Each structure stands twice: as structure tokens, then as C-alpha cells.
A and B are shown apart, each in its own frame.
Chain A
């Protein structure tokens, strides 16, 4: 790989900034910590391989999220892996009500991973606080369609929590 030292530094910065975000997106998609780490790593391998080709037509974040979303979609080809509900072993939850928080976090990721594929990606990007215009650019949906979908998915997730509480 003939990338300059400057590129390598740029990459290290991107890796530090985006690792958690990309991991969460993958985790929302498969709900399996090891598998999610794998996809996140594959994403950064693609980022590294294509960084010199990035022309700044979109923000670097949008570009990385696009690569990650597509790596998630490609998991359909790995038929042997079955998702399971769990938290990464190195997850740290501190403070009051941490048990409840932990349970709700597990539930949220489980509910998301049970949605249809594109909806998993859309809601993960929304919860990552990406502007809806950016989400539309990543997925290829129209902005209006994105907005409608986000609204419906949130309603569905809240409903799932309510049903679970009963």
C-alpha cells in the first residue's frame, strides 16, 4: 500500500473518530458484538483502500457511513452466521440504574436488528444523529421518504418497548 505518511495519519484520525459510530451501526444491523466488530473492521479496510480515491463530493463521514452500510447489506451473503442478542464483553455501563439501562440497551439493539434491513440502517444513522439529508444521501432514498420512514420506525420501536413492559 503506497499511501503517504500524511494519509496514514489522516486514516488514524478517522479510525479514532468513527470507530464507535461504525461499530454501533453494525451492531444495530446484526446484534452480535463479534460479528459487528468484523463488519466494522472490514469497513475500515475499505476506507483505507479507497481513501486516496475520496474526492470530497460528500463529507468524509457520509462516505464512511455509506461504506459501512453497504458492508452491512452484504452480510446477507454470509448465511451461516446467525445473530444473537448480547453486549460486547468490554461494554461498560456505569452510574445509577445501570442494570435497567443495560437491559434497555440490549432490547433496543435487539428490536432494531429485527427490523427489515434498510430500516435498521436508517434508524441507526438517525440515532447516530446524522442529519436526515445525509441519511438520504447514504441510503439513496428521497429526503421526504427518509423522514416518513424514521417517524414510523421510531413509533414502532417505542411500541415494542411499551409491549415489552406490559
Chain B
């Protein structure tokens, strides 16, 4: 029969060689680079788009107010998304490992809820502003075209945005939301374990 002393003895039997410290420091560097790369990738992508739009404004000197409003709206969409993402990023990367387990779980739940919010609300806002911006932006250029070509340009743009909005976005969102909701549920289950009367 295993008693309490035996449990402690058995527990202590488990030993393994500590990996070399150099390996650990390599890992520190790897983590740092990975975090930086993720952050840079998204920022560069969106900032390049913003720069391109800025260049269009500078180069083509739009005359109509609708074009200028359109460009501003696209800028705003990118800016809002970048600010929201960059504000949340430190939380995703370092979620407060020094907290006690109870607070840490609450923090994880909070982060996952924010992630859901970023995906649902922020992405909707981003797409809406982008759609409105592009449509307004096109007014000036399509007004100089023949009606048929103007209809074609708007149709292609609307079809492309529609494909993103009605097909691509829900598909990606569904997959990510299932994963996030799954995690939230699991975290909540662990939270339940803090109750006094829970038995092993």
C-alpha cells in the first residue's frame, strides 16, 4: 500500500538533466524574434497599403470631395485596426505569468474575450469603412468613364468585397471563433475547480 511518504519519495524519483543554459538563451532570442516578426508583418502590410493610398492622393491630385473622403475612410479603417491590434498584442504575448493561477485564468479569459471582440466588431468596422471608402474613392474616376464601364468597375469591386464579406470573413471567423469559444469553455471549467466543494 502506497502511503503519503511513499508518494513524496516516488515524486522525487523523477529527474532529468537540465538543458544547457546556452540552449535556453537561444530560445529567449527565438521568442523575441518571433514576437517582433509577427508584429512587424501585420504593421508593414497595413502601413504599406496606407502609404500607397497616400501616394495616390499625392500623385493624382483628386479634385472631388468624395475621393478625399474615400481615402480618409480607408486610412481610418487601417488606423483603427492597427491601434486595436497593437494595443492588445502585448497582452497576447505576455499574459501575466507572475499572477496567481486564479487571477491568471481570469486574465486569459479576458484576453480571449478581447480577441473575440477584435475579430467580430473590429473586423466588421474595418470592412464597412473600407467598403464605403473604396466606393466613394471610385466616384471621381468612374464619373469620367462611360456608364457601362462605370457599372463594370463598381460590379467587380462590389463582387470582390462581397466575396470577402459573405464568404471569406465568415469562414475564417467561424473557424477562429470555434477555437476561441472552445478555449474559453475550457478555462471556465478550470475556474470551476477553484470552488471548495469540488472533489477529485
Q: Which residues of A contact B (CB under 8 A)?
A: 1, 12, 15-16, 19-20, 23-24, 27-28, 33, 37, 41-42, 44-46, 48-50, 53, 63, 66-67, 69-71, 73-74, 76-77, 87-88, 90-93, 101-102, 104-105, 108-109, 115-119, 121, 124, 127-129, 137-141, 145, 148-149, 152-154, 156-158, 161-162, 165
Q: B13's closest neighbor in chain A, by CB?
A: A105
- Give the CA-CA distance A112 to B163 in the complex, in Å: 50
- Give the CA-CA distance A27 to B13 in the complex, in Å: 12
Scan residues 14-70 of chain B and give those whose CB is less than 8 A from a CB of chain A: 14-19, 21, 23-25, 27-28, 31
Q: Is the CB of A119 within 8 A of B193?
A: yes
B78, chain A: closest CB distance, angstroms: 29
Interface size of B by Cβ–Cβ distance < 8 Å? 47
Q: Is the CB of A48 within 8 A of B11?
A: no
Q: Which residues of B contact A119 (CB under 8 A)?
A: 193, 200
Q: Which residues of B contact A149 (CB under 8 A)?
A: 200
Q: Is the CB of B17 within 8 A of A108?
A: no
Q: A16's closest neighbor in chain B, by CB?
A: B18
Q: Is the CB of B17 within 8 A of A162?
A: no
22 pairs, CB–CB < 8 Å, chain A vs chain B = A23-B16, A37-B16, A41-B23, A42-B27, A45-B28, A45-B31, A48-B24, A53-B98, A63-B98, A66-B98, A66-B101, A91-B14, A104-B6, A105-B14, A117-B193, A129-B8, A139-B100, A140-B101, A148-B196, A157-B7, A158-B2, A158-B7
**For the complex, would chain A's binding face be called helix, strand, loop or mixed by DSSP majority?**
helix
B94, chain A: closest CB distance, angstroms: 8
Q: Is the CB of B100 within 8 A of A1?
A: no
Q: Which residues of B contact A109 (CB under 8 A)?
A: 14
A86, chain B: closest CB distance, angstroms: 11
Q: Which residues of B contact A138 (CB under 8 A)?
A: 100-101
Q: Which residues of B contact A (CB under 8 A)?
A: 1-4, 6-8, 10-19, 21, 23-25, 27-28, 31, 94-105, 108, 183, 186-187, 190, 193-194, 196, 198-200
